[in-house]
Chain A
Amino acid sequence: MNRVLVVAEHANGELNPSTAKCVSCAASLPEAEISVAVLAANGAGVAAAAASIAGVSRVLLVDDAANEPALAAVLAPQVARLAEGYSHVFGPSTTFGKDLMPRVAALLDAPQVSDVMTVESVRRFRRLVYAGNGIITVEAPADRQIVATVRIASYQPAPAGGHATIVPVKLGIPLPTHTRLVSVNAARSDRPDLQTAARVVSGGRGLGSAENFALIQRLADRIGAAVGASRAAVDAGYAPNELQVGQTGKIIAPELYVAIGISGAIQHLTGIKDARTIVAINKDAEAPIFEVADYALVGDLFTLIPELEKLL
């Protein structure tokens, strides 16, 4: 029996879909018994959502005012304590999980496998290195717990329909106060979330200005897509950082990805390699984005976007 503890990600009382994707990954381990840890200030609703994920047998709910807002330094010692008796501790490879899980691994004196894309066996995992230019298979030692972040673009969320037991836990361990939240600047948008959207329209340096980037937003709205951006577009200030797709931004796997005015640096391509269908629109026929595009359209985006809008 492999006992897996999945650390739930949540905000504003809502469970993030990354949690159900981590459960999918955990369920691909042989003989997995899966628990979800919910660390919250008032987490009954989140715990109920986690308990309804198929494949979860237990939800450990730690309610503590110190858990809101979620800070890695505060959560890590609690997760490490909850992890006692578990063979695997999984979290999502979102900024939440990337921040938290290595801190947990260090407290457990365990190695971490980052961005697991496939589970090969109990201790064998595949992951990408060099911005997706290589895939390595690694084996973790048998004498330690295994901490991993799950590459959420590689997994579908586990379905609903579970009836896990919710177990309230009081940990009573000292928590640090050396880290404090000052403010959060999160853009509110009615558009689909970039990390879970079925369709994404992304713009790059070719847009030329923040004003022109609105063309990408309009086209995205026309087909109900999320908006993404290349690093060049974010660096130039055309789009906010949370829209960046790529090695150091978001790794996504939509059904349809439309790259407009994006040349296709390898760091960008690693963020979209799991997209089902890639459309590239660029005036440079030699742009590397065309090497991975399923549909390539060479031309001026300022002519083509309005045409597409009319046709869609």
Chain B
Amino acid sequence: MRRILVGIKRVIDYNVRVRVRPDGTGVVTDGVKMSINPFDEIALEEALRIKEHGAADEIVVISAGPDEAQQQLRTALAMGADRAILVRTPIEVEPPAVARALLKLVEREKPLLVILGKQAIDDDCNQTGQMLAALWDRPQATFASKIDIHGDTARVTREVDAGLETIEVDLPAVLTTDLRLNEPRYVKLPDIMKAKKKPLDVTDFAALGVDAAPRLKVLGFEPPPKRQKGVMVKDAAELVAALRQKGLV
């Protein structure tokens, strides 16, 4: 069975304007729309395409999060994943703990590929995929904008600061997705009905033998300083004059 594991994180929807709670304990989540982390949706779409091209047989979506993350896993099943695993946790877990939990599932599922988003848009950490690859002692291809599977290797084009870099990795490997890899499909209503019958297993960190306790203590949560509102200039000449006066041009 050629299997692909895909990580799915439940995050505040990317269209929501996130606000820090006045008491500094976190961000406002009451009544806020939650979604699949956009990079993870791209990871799932890529896995679905690889399967549709005949290079994989089964796609398993995995989330580490609260009970409510089952909603995002159901959406992933409706998009086309075959089954889902929730690693349930009532606390915020950090990338090293998620990577260790994924490693346990990798040992059980023996995938050909693990595809994760390059970062979650809540903590913006950009760590989990690289950490899993290290613990698993397998290749990583991060920030992917193109993936081609050829037998037991993958050729991956990566978005790097200098431009684009293409690497070849032996499989199994961990890949993380960048924004331009693909455009995820929309979920259709009949697929939502079908997804309800797909298997969704629930486990937790203790059952996997992984310590989920955070190692970084969050001491404070503040809104960013506001930029002072600027001035309106009426035309190009006034703008250039202002910039000249400040010595900027």
Contact A242–B236 (Cβ < 8 Å): no
Segment among A51-59, A81-89, A108-116 that sits at the interface with chain B: A108-116
B228 CB contacts on chain A under 8 angstroms: 294
Q: Check A173 for interface membership: any CB of B closer than 8 A.
A: no
B12 CB contacts on chain A under 8 angstroms: 130
Instruction: Report B208-224 CB contacts with A as 1/0, cut-off 8 Å.
Output: 00000001111111111
- Interface positions, chain B 28-42, Cβ under 8 Å from A, are none
Contact A131–B145 (Cβ < 8 Å): no
How many chain B residues touch A (CB < 8 A): the figure is: 82
Give the 9 A-B residue pairs with the shortest CB-CB distance, closest first. A102-B130, A106-B134, A294-B230, A307-B236, A106-B131, A102-B127, A186-B162, A186-B163, A137-B220
Segment among A20-28, A154-162, A272-280 that sits at the interface with chain B: A272-280
- Interface positions, chain A 125-158, Cβ under 8 Å from B, are 128-141, 144
B20 CB contacts on chain A under 8 angstroms: 133-134
Q: Check B147 for interface membership: any CB of A closer than 8 A.
A: no
B38 to chain A, nearest CB (A): 9
Question: How many inter-chain residue pairs (CB < 8 Å) link A and B?
Answer: 243
Segment among A42-50, A90-98, A205-213 that sits at the interface with chain B: A90-98
User: In the complex, A279 Cα to B240 Cα: how many Å?
Assistant: 11
How many chain A residues touch B (CB < 8 A): the figure is: 86
Contact A182–B178 (Cβ < 8 Å): no
Given the contacts A95-B161, A105-B127, A139 and B219 also touching, CB distance less than 8 Å: yes
Other-chain contact of B134, A103, A114, A234 (Cβ < 8 Å): A103
Q: Check A291 for interface membership: any CB of B closer than 8 A.
A: yes
With both beta carbons as reference points, the residue of chain B lying nearest to A125 in the complex is identified as B216
Q: Check A1 for interface membership: any CB of B closer than 8 A.
A: no
Instruction: Report A183-200 CB contacts with B as 1/0, cut-off 8 Å.
Output: 111110000000100010
- Interface positions, chain B 183-218, Cβ under 8 Å from A, are 215-218
Other-chain contact of B239, A182, A273, A297 (Cβ < 8 Å): A297
B-side interface residues toward A, CB under 8 Å?
12, 14, 17-20, 27, 94-96, 99, 118-119, 121-135, 137-143, 145, 155, 158-170, 173, 178-180, 215-224, 227-237, 239-240, 242-243, 246, 248-249
With both beta carbons as reference points, the residue of chain B lying nearest to A281 in the complex is identified as B239
> Looking at B96, B161, B248, which has the most chain A CB atoms within 10 Å of its CB?
B161
Contact B227–A279 (Cβ < 8 Å): no
- Interface positions, chain A 211-264, Cβ under 8 Å from B, are 223, 231, 234-235, 240-242, 247-248, 250, 255-256
Q: Check A171 for interface membership: any CB of B closer than 8 A.
A: no
A94 CB contacts on chain B under 8 angstroms: 161
> Looking at B160, B221, B228, which has the most chain A CB atoms within 10 Å of its CB?
B160
B222 CB contacts on chain A under 8 angstroms: 134-136
Contact A111–B96 (Cβ < 8 Å): yes
Q: Check A32 for interface membership: any CB of B closer than 8 A.
A: no
